[in-house]
Amino acid sequence: MENLHLVGIVSIAVAGFTMALGSIGPALAQGRAVSQALGSIAQQPDEANTITRVLFVGLAMIESTAIYCFVVTMILIFANPFWNYFLQQ
């Protein structure tokens, strides 16, 4: 039973660490992307539609990284493959 508690503690700690790092990176990248897009629109207002379209596609790709980290976190917390291994022993 002691190993099961250790697996739970480590799973929750790793899940928190994953969400912390997995949300900081995309947040910084999205801020930089929006900043660069606004700078580009300020320099070339005629290309605002094209820049905005490319910006939204890029933001969706950046956000997918945070979503993958969220999925890994949910797997670690709710569907951890190590739970069954330690319950059987």
Q: Residue 58, exposed/middle/buried by CB under 10 A (0-12, 13-18, 19+)?
A: middle
Domain boundaries, the chain: 2-88
Q: What is the pTM of this model?
A: 0.74
Q: Give the dihedral sign, CA 18/19/20/23.
A: positive
pLDDT in tens, 8-58: 888 889 898 989 988 999 999 999 999 999 999 999 999 999 999 999 999
Residue 14 in contact with residue 76, Cβ under 8 Å? yes
Class assignment of domain 2-88?
A: mainly alpha
